[in-house]
Amino acid sequence: MNLQFTLASRYLLGRKLRSLLTTLAVIFGVMIIFGMNTILPTMISALQANVQGAEGETDFTIVSKTGSSFPKDTAKSLIEIKGVRAVASSLERTINLPADFVDQDPSRPDQIIAVNLVGLNPEEARTVRAFPTVEGRYLKDTDTSSAVISQTLADAFSVRVGSLIHLPSVSGLTELTVVGLLPAAIGTENEQIFVPLTQAQKMTGEVGKVNTIKVNIEAFASKERRAEIQTNITSAIGANYKVGAMIADDEMFATMEMAKIALNAFGALALFMGGFIIFNTFRTIVAERRRDIGMLRTLGATRRMIIGAILVEGFLLGLLGSLIGLVVGYLMAVAVLAVAQGPLSAFINIKLGWPIIQIPLAVGSVMIGVSVTMLAGLIPAWNASRVTPLEALRPTAAEVEFKNQTGRGFWVGVATITLSLLALLSGQSAFILPGGVIFLVGLMLVAPALVRPFAAFFGRIIARLTVRQGIGGLAEKNLTRQPSRIAVTSSTSLLALATIVAAGGIVFSMKGTLLTMVDNSLGSDFIFLPPSVGLWGSNLGASPLLAETLRKVDGVDTVSTFRFASSQAKGQVVSVLGIQPQDFQKVSGLNFTEGSSAAYQELTTERTLIANSIFMVSTGLGVNDSVELTTPNGPIQYRIAAVASDLLNAKISTIYISQANLQKDFASDQDVFIQLDLRPDADQEVIGAQIKAIGKDYPQFKVISGKDYFNTIESQFEAAFSAVYILFAVLAFPSLIAMLNTMTISVMERTREIGMVRAVGGTRWQIRSMVVTEALLLAAIGAVFGILGGVYLGYMLVTAIEVVFPMGYSFPFLGIVAAVVIALLFGGAAAIIPARKAARMDIIQALRYE
């Protein structure tokens, strides 16, 4: 083994450029996998910290399954349970604070962007956790508008004991007196503001209600005992409640889940391309070391030893690449999180910290990187072991493949492509998705056979351009001497460019559709916008009074609001939005995919709902089916009247019901989003000023004009889509590595031939153009495959997405142009070093080259 390590490390060091290029592929793959998977958990944990706040030392936390509040008496029976030591109910709400609310200073980044309002019975709460004040006092049962906050929060607000602070509430700004300070908060959780329960109920409009029960159990309970107590609590409190973790973050996790799948697919694709590159490199390594390998065989090295030596090389390369990949991936995560903080805080009020390093992920990424490298080296290693000792004695000439390329692989590829085309024609989404994958596989299988005709075709074009240089034909022949190697290289370009073209297809199709929807859904004159659009549950709403006040403003024609409740249907979390069908239709409206706007009328007459496509897909229900919704009053049946979406709720499983039904079944009457239209004759400026003045008392909302909002959204789309585009362009990087590798290798292999061409009178410039031409041919072949694959893939993805999100397919002309430009640029770039090397070769030495 020692010798294998020596050989492997010396060979790697001996060809530093090649080792670097090959390692790049591994680095890139591991970087994507590790980096992406680091970014996501960091976001999730920031979210958890935001939503959950400090859970403290309580053993169990009980919330309702729908996330809604419940009568305070619910907790009563729990203290009877054996093993339960203390029970305390509280009403807890995250209050998102508008920008500059705390420090009043737009020039400084906000430290506090949300707080947790915790309403509690002071004495009862002390039985489940401690409140060690450092200044002032803890709450008394007789307190009304008192608050206890942490030292840190007091510093942020610049207040002391006895000072007043103001917080947004359902009935406008509420004034609280700070009576005590707790020690400075540790960690990244939201700051908590403790107030008497009645005060919190008033501020959130939930009189007589709580939403959290904390339970402490006997000390030193064993794991089994804890489980037993948990079971007893669960059966005592009933099926509508959840014991243990909080549910409030489920909405967000649903959104994150989609991102996670997409990112992992991305990483897998990157590593897959890395595998191709490594495979190609090792194949070449074996080819150029035939003599060394033959020599080792002559001296008595067994086949196993040869395989071992190549695999050790793969191992070292993989390990090195993976370790560097970890570091680069971490740095990428730091950078992405820093960049994402800005746009993200516009939508969701969360603060991202430093990336969280997960040891299992790091180990896993290294293992994946190393195994992909070794796996890619396996076939070349096996081939190396078949090298006969006689190879050591034969003068080697660059290898040429003359074998017929239309073998079994080709026909399997043709069959695969036919199948995938049939899948597309079927129009069935169940067939279309796998169809895209097998289409790419099919392309890769037929690629070796197509290399010659493609090269001949492009070669003819190039030969015409370079007729006087007499090297176009030579370049084409050089390229086609190893069709399978070119095919492997092209497959890498294929995947990269196909992704770009497909992404183009989706981006263009989606952008057009989304902007139309923005105009439809948010075409109102003014909007009261909460901090978190879409994640309604984390917003503090306003009492119906605000909407009433707005309706009374002279010149206001219609006011439409969203009210929110969380529910579950078929075990899935669903966002329930209460609308007033008449007003909603006038101001904005839904895009119907099944049924029609007649469904609005049905909402008011019975328990019916309009669902969005995500809800339909996740529950598997159809129009006119009945569905059981979890409510604070137990399960209630609703009928699905139609399928429709609006932009704000496009990402999340959502149903729309009437506000009357929402009040009746979910006991929710807070407005979380308000839109209003003015009369046509109204003066926008004057009335706008009046509306904004009313909004001042409700700082949880931002009051903007619909047109401004449309522009904001449009620029956010532009930013998001260009980020997506950059991400996919980065994915094209492995194809550059692959082409560079292939070109370097092919020049190296042909050293003697190049020497010969020079000896018989070829100029340096001719040699250089020959190599560049070869690289451009290589790139062109990759581009053709990539565009074919990408157009199919893009069409397929749009069709698949259409199932949950209505959008039309637009042909990705720009994506294709981008792919061609990238391919040719990369081809040219890949040729620079090898072409210079070839042109500068010493003729005598090249002729002697072994």
Burial class (CB in 10 A: 0-12, 13-18, 19+), 389: middle
| Residue of 239, 393, 461, 726 that binds another protein (CB under 8 A) | 393
Q: Which is nearer to another protein, 300 or 761 (CB)?
A: 300
User: What minimum distance in Å lies between the beta carbon of 316 and another protein?
Assistant: 13
Q: Which stretch binds another protein (CB under 8 A): 246-254, 288-296, 373-381, 713-721?
A: 288-296
Q: Which of residues 554-593 bind another protein (CB under 8 A)?
A: none
Per CB under 8 A, 748 contacts another protein: no
Q: Which residues of 221-232 are buried (b: 16+ CB within 10 A; e: fewer)?
A: eeeeeeeebbeb
Query: Nearest approach, Cβ of 393 to another protein (angstroms)?
Result: 6
Q: Which residues contact 138 (CB under 8 A, 6 or more apart)?
A: 122, 126, 131, 148, 180
Burial of 425 (0-12, 13-18, 19+ CB in 10 A): exposed
SS3 at position 479: helix
Q: What is the DSSP letter of 592?
A: E
How many residues form the binding site for another protein (CB under 8 A)?
26
CB closer to another protein, 296 vs 804: 296
Residue type, 440: L
Under the criterion CB under 8 A, does residue 6 sit at the interface with another protein? yes
Closest approach, Cβ 369 to another protein, in A, equals 24
Q: Is 807 in contact with 510 (CB distance < 8 Å)?
A: yes
Q: Which is nearer to another protein, 685 or 850 (CB)?
A: 850
* Strand-strand pairing, 702-705 and 634-645: unpaired
DSSP-derived pairing of the beta strands 654-658 and 671-678:
unpaired
Cβ at position 849, least distance to another protein in Å = 12
Q: Which is nearer to another protein, 7 or 182 (CB)?
A: 7
696 near another protein, judged by CB under 8 A: no
Residue 428 Rama label (left phi>0; alpha psi -120 to 50; beta):
beta
Q: SS3 sequence, 60-105?
A: EEEEECCCCCEEHHHHHHHHHCCCEEEEEEEEEEEEECCCCCCCCC
Calpha distance 227→245 (Å, rounded): 14
C-beta of 391: minimal distance to another protein in Å?
10
Beta strands in 186-330 (DSSP E): 191-196, 209-210, 212-217, 241-243
* CA distance readout (Å), 404 to 444, 450, 475, 520: 17, 12, 21, 59
In the complex, minimum distance from the CB of residue 841 to another protein, in angstroms, rounded to a whole number: 17
Name which of 305 and 729 has its Cβ closer to another protein: 305
Per-residue x/- track, 789-818, another protein (CB under 8 A)? ------------------------------
Q: Work out the end-to-end distance of the chain between its first and last CA atoms, rounded to an integer number of angstroms.
A: 28
CB nearer to another protein: pick between 7 and 229: 7
* Distance separating alpha carbons of residues 822 and 831, to the nearest angstrom: 14
Choose one: 6-14, 56-64, 447-455, 476-484; the region binding another protein (CB under 8 A): 6-14
Nearer to another protein, 389 or 595 (CB): 389
CA–CA dist 294, 298 (Å, integer): 6
Q: Which of residues 454-473 bind another protein (CB under 8 A)?
A: none
Residue number with CB closer to another protein (7 or 246): 7
Nearest approach, Cβ of residue 303 and another protein (Å): 7
Determine the Cα–Cα distance for residues 100 and 699; give it in Å rounded to an integer.
11
Query: Which amino acid, 101?
Result: F
722 binds another protein (CB under 8 A): no
Q: Give the nearest distance from C-beta 329 to another protein in angstroms.
A: 31
Query: If you search the block for the tokens 């996330």, which residue do you land on?
Result: 67
Tokens of 310: 């190549």
Cβ atoms of residues 734 and 277 within 8 Å: yes
Q: 70: which strand partners?
A: 210
**Residue nearer to another protein on the CB measure, 305 or 727:** 305
Q: Give the interface segment with another protein, choosing from 385-393, 436-444, 478-486, 697-705 (CB under 8 A).
A: 385-393
Answer for the pair 248, 710: CB distance below 8 angstroms, yes or no: no
Residue 14 in the binding site for another protein (CB under 8 A): yes
Q: Does position 3 bind another protein by CB under 8 A?
A: yes
Among 163, 231, 235, 388, binds another protein (CB under 8 A): 388
Q: Which is nearer to another protein, 388 or 633 (CB)?
A: 388
7 touching another protein, by CB under 8 A? yes
Q: What is the rounded CA–CA span in Å between residue 494 and residue 352?
A: 36
Return the closest-CA partner of residue 611 out of 594, 632, 636, 589. 594
Q: How far apart are CA 39 and CA 44, in angstroms?
A: 9
CB 87 within 8 A of CB 72: no
Nearest approach in angstroms of CB 752 to another protein is 14
Q: Which of 33, 139, 392, 776 binds another protein (CB under 8 A)?
A: 392
> Minimum distance from CB of 286 to another protein (Å)?
15
Establish if 775 lies at the interface with another protein (CB under 8 A). Answer: no
2 binds another protein (CB under 8 A): yes
**Contact status: 70 vs another protein (CB under 8 A):** no
Q: Which listed range, 10-18, 360-368, 544-552, 630-638, lies at the site for another protein (CB under 8 A)?
A: 10-18
- Closest approach, Cβ 502 to another protein, in A, equals 43
850 binds another protein (CB under 8 A): yes
Query: Binding to another protein (CB under 8 A): which residues in 657-686?
Result: none
Residue 390 found at the interface with another protein (CB under 8 A) = yes
Name the one range near another protein by CB under 8 A: 128-136, 287-295, 560-568, 839-847: 287-295
Compute the least distance from the CB of residue 397 to another protein, in Å: 14
Beta-bridge partners for 215:
60, 87
- Looking at 9-17, 166-174, 597-605, 672-680, which segment touches another protein (CB under 8 A)? 9-17
51, 538 Cβ separation under 8 angstroms: yes
Strands 209-210 and 70-71: antiparallel
Give min distance, CB of 308 to another protein, in A: 11
Asked if residue 402 binds another protein (CB under 8 A), the reply is no
Give 3-state DSSP helix, strand, coil % of the chain, rounded to 5.
60, 15, 25
Length of the chain equals 850
**In the chain, what is the greatest distance between 2 CA atoms, to the nearest angstrom?**
104
Nearer to another protein, 2 or 404 (CB): 2
Closest to another protein by CB, 683 vs 842, is 842
Distance CA 718, CA 700 (A): 27
- Cβ-contact 643, 612 below 8 angstroms: yes
Closer residue to another protein, CB minimum distance, 10 or 552: 10
Near another protein by CB under 8 A, which window of 322-330, 386-394, 613-621, 710-718? 386-394
Using CB under 8 A, which residues numbered 291 to 320 contact another protein? 291-292, 295-303, 305
Closest distance of CB 764 from another protein, Å: 25
- Using the minimum distance from each CB to another protein, give the nearer residue, 305 or 328: 305
Q: What one-character-per-residue DSSP string does 675-687 give? A: EEEE-TTS-HHHH
**Residue 74 CA neighbour count, 13 Å, CB half:** 28
Euclidean distance between CA atoms 280 and 377, whole angstroms: 9
Assigned token pair, 687: 């009335």
* Choices 289-297, 418-426, 509-517, 818-826 (CB under 8 A): range interacting with another protein: 289-297
Kindly state the smallest distance separating residue 396's Cβ from another protein, in Å. 10
Residues contributing to the site for another protein (CB under 8 A): 2-3, 6-7, 10-11, 13-14, 291-292, 295-303, 305, 388-390, 392-393, 850
